[in-house]
């Protein structure tokens, strides 16, 4: 049974996990073009549209994702989300990230709530996703090793494939359990998860230069 303490309306760890998210290493996120421009009342309203199984889905993934070695990210550069989407040439997931970016604070609240009762689970989840991205990034660089393309050009060519693979890994991790959760709930939660990880800079590269 899922402990009621991880319900999305019982979030004691609201944004105080900066070190666990490693936001100190990701710079300032500039949410332009209405990306995550919500107040607390709007966020509570958004929570009501989340599938009822979302806390359960987060718990399943947190309990089953590999406990991999930690990777330090020492990148203090500021960025904004639209520029990051353009820089990495995100294709079919572009609209999903734009649409679901508004849910990122709510997703963060639910993940924080679970972390309150399962310490370091948030770090474990985000590290797992980041390591999966690094593996796929390495494959992309290897696939074009005999070309004159830059590293970012190689990543751009494989952007959708990278996200496809990460998305499948998340879904497979959830499905390889005994929990019976309808596909629509998993599908929506995973899209929110991918968007959240993109915003938290666990996947894909920050654009160079000044914020536009």
The 10s digit of each residue's pLDDT in 19-75 is 333 333 344 444 333 344 444 444 444 455 555 677 788 888 888 877 765 555 555
Measured CA distances, 135 to 132, 158, 163, 164 (Å): 5, 13, 12, 13
Q: Which of 71-75, 87-91, 186-190 has the lowest mean pLDDT?
A: 71-75
pLDDT at 210: 53
pLDDT at 56: 81
Distance of alpha carbon 187 from alpha carbon 182, whole angstroms: 9
pLDDT at 178: 76
User: Residues 3-22: what's their mean pLDDT?
Assistant: 41
**pLDDT for 9 beyond 60:** no
pLDDT at 107: 86
Picking from 194, 179, 165, 201, the residue whose alpha carbon sits closest to that of residue 98 is 194
Mean pLDDT of the chain: 76
Phi, psi angles (nearest 5°) of residue 49: -90, -5
pLDDT at 50: 59
Q: Which residue has the higher pLDDT, 36 or 177?
A: 177
Q: Which of 19-23, 142-146, 201-205 has the lowest mean pLDDT?
A: 19-23
User: Residues 5-20: what's their mean pLDDT?
Assistant: 42
């Amino acid at each position: 049974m899922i402990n009621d303490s991880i319900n999305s309306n019982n979030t004691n760890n609201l944004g105080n996990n900066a070190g666990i998210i490693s936001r100190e290493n990701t710079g300032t996120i500039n949410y332009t073009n209405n990306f995550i421009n919500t107040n607390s009342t709007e966020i509570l309203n958004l929570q009501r549209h989340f599938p009822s199984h979302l806390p359960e889905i987060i718990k399943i993934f947190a309990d089953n994702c590999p406990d991999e070695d930690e990777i330090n990210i020492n990148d203090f550069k500021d960025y904004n989300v639209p520029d990051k989407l353009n820089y990495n040439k995100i294709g079919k997931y572009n609209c999903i990230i734009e649409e679901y970016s508004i849910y990122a604070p709510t997703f963060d609240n639910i993940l924080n709530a679970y972390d309150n009762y399962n310490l370091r689970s948030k770090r474990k989840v985000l590290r797992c996703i980041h390591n999966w991205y690094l593996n796929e990034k390495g494959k992309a660089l290897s696939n074009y090793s005999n070309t004159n393309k830059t590293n970012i050009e190689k990543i751009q060519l494989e952007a959708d494939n990278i996200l496809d693979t990460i998305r499948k890994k998340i879904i497979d991790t959830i499905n390889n359990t005994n929990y019976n959760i309808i596909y629509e709930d998993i599908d929506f939660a995973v899209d929110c998860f991918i968007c959240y990880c993109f915003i938290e800079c666990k996947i894909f590269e920050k654009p160079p230069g000044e914020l536009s």
